[in-house]
Structure 1
């Protein structure tokens, strides 16, 4: 039997512990992601998108915690760096402080679905928009409509939210053993002016219903 000097054990033990941590370290694998080009959006909308992303980027959601878009981003006011930009309002548009941040909430929603996070609150737009597929959007309005989801996994997840004047990228990072879900969308015309969209999460051979939304077909972007 080979006897190992205690000095070697003192050196090797920390290395073994570090290796075990490295193999199972949190937030190392992309489990959900979303992307959108924003070259067609105006400069003010891009400013608001950038402000929202900066407040969310690298946010860590621990097991049992709930993410709230409105809580993390906060009020969309001039004092906090947001500007007036086009916002969907009913069947039209209006210029409001923070206009454009719904793109960020929509991309986070899609990534959260893929990550298997539990959606607790989400409201679709009343009509389809060009930057996000119908059924995968999430409108937010501070104090009224929020995007919320809970981390019911065993480990923390990290939200990365990057924006420039050309695109927005959202990634959710989890543990190496975390499983991402595949999103299935089914569109059906509801009438001459509306479309119905059903969204499911694929888990093996089974489809888990997520949402049933009805949109006006009109696109004013």
Structure 2
């Protein structure tokens, strides 16, 4: 009996030991499983930005806190204002960054330290004191500047250049107006300081503006008022139709040329038509005088040409008449023919150039005003027309005319020699010639004599 009892006791002990080992093994497996799962998540008492992330994985916590940060940045605005204008920019406009990754790494440590059983107990303890972490948002000054530059046009007050006109023989200057532009660097610094200091609530910020100087000032335009040259030619007051053409053309060439701008006589005078007020008068056609609308406008071209020759203004194109004219010496005339010949020059200075033209006391007067740099740097300017070649007139032409009697002859056209002339500009300082410059070479055609011979018999 005693032996049986001992055997039963031994068996019981063995069974108990087996059960104990099984229980311990099961418990160990359970603990291992729980800790393994727990290692994937944050401890229950962890908060980031007051958001509970206990039981969340790293990825889940990252998404949750990012959503909170994004919502905050989208819903919180900075008001920027200047005078009566204001805009509201959400914080995400400035592309903020944060230390969220580092915070989550730190937040994972509590409850995940020590041996496996310590971590197991931590995973089951719901009475631990909460631990709070705060994500720091950072701003890049250059990103704030970029965001402001996108909005800069909303606050821009463009500068207005000074302007100048010449009317009634006087200059009229309208002063410039200073402009203003958003100073993105200075304004960005104010925003940056406020955001990095975590000032709450976010206060409105007055934008820093900077002055923008106009490109053209009234002071600068004083340089466009220098008298450069003046020239006049005379005309006969008896020919009223021609005089009307001169008055119209003189008024049309008044102009202001901006730097680099070209002047075309044709663009000013045209259309040369009766509807534009032009009358019929003598014009040179193929070496002889004929009636034509706008006769006389070439005198305007020649007067303007001579005024330009007294300055350093760039002449682009000029042609002489086919015959000499009475109002200027050889080589100093300029002609114009609709759609055929134009007279052009260019404002080759840094300031406006003014052409002023009018008729007064039987004279066409052209005055030029502009940059002093266009004024010839000499005390006196003269011109020399040097005849270098002559061409004899062609043989006389006799034309029968049945309106004349057989014993009558009338000279229709006088003969003229052809002439080639070189025009020189002579420049003096202190009474001495210091420069002789070839300006042009002009060729005037020879013209043959034309005699009308009568063919009508006389009746006795």
TM-score category (smaller protein):
0.7 to 0.9
Residues 210 and 168 (structure 1 numbering): CA distance in 2 closer, same or farther, change over 3 Å? same
Aligned 8 A contact 2:307 2:366 in 1? yes
Question: Which is higher, the Rg of structure 1 or of structure 2?
Answer: 2
**Distance across 2 between alignment mates of 1:41 and 1:125:** 23
Task: Indicate the larger mover: 78-87 or 190-199.
Answer: 190-199
Give yes or no for contact 1:26–1:157 (8 Å, CA) kept in 2. no
Runs of 4+ in 1 over 6 A off after TM superposition: none
Residue by residue, what CA displacement relative to the aligned partner does 1:177-198 show, whole Å, maximum 9, x if unpaired? 5423735223226225233321
The alignment's C-alpha RMSD in Å is 2.5
Aligned residue for 1:199, secondary structure, equals strand
Aligned partner (choices 222, 230, 235) of residue 25 of structure 1: 222
Contact 2:258 / 2:352 at 8 angstroms: preserved in 1?
Answer: yes
Count of paired positions? 199
- Name the counterpart of 1:196: 420
Q: Equivalent of 1:63, from 231, 234, 259? A: 259
The corresponding residue for 1:140 is: 336
Deviation of 1:73 (Å) = 1.6
Aligned 8 A contact 1:121 1:148 in 2: yes
User: 3-state SS of the aligned residue for 2:222?
Assistant: coil
Matches within 5 A, 1:78-89: 78-89=274-285
Query: Unaligned 5+ residue runs, structure 1?
Result: 1-19
Kindly indicate whether residue 310 of structure 2 is the aligned counterpart of residue 114 of structure 1. Answer: yes
- CA deviations 1:72-113 (Å, max 9, x no partner) are 122210011111111011221111111100000111111112
Q: 1:207 aligns with which of 436, 440, 444?
A: 436
Bigger relative contact order (CA 8 A; separation at least 6): 1
Residue 210 of structure 1: how far off its partner (Å):
1.6
Task: Trace 1:33-182 onto structure 2 (pairs within 5 A).
Answer: 33-39=230-236, 42-57=239-254, 59-164=255-360, 166-180=362-376, 182=381
Please tell me whether the aligned partners of residues 349 and 371 of structure 2 are also in contact (alpha carbons under 8 angstroms).
no
TM-score, length-scaled by structure 1 = 0.80
Alignment partner of 1:184 out of 383, 394, 407: 383
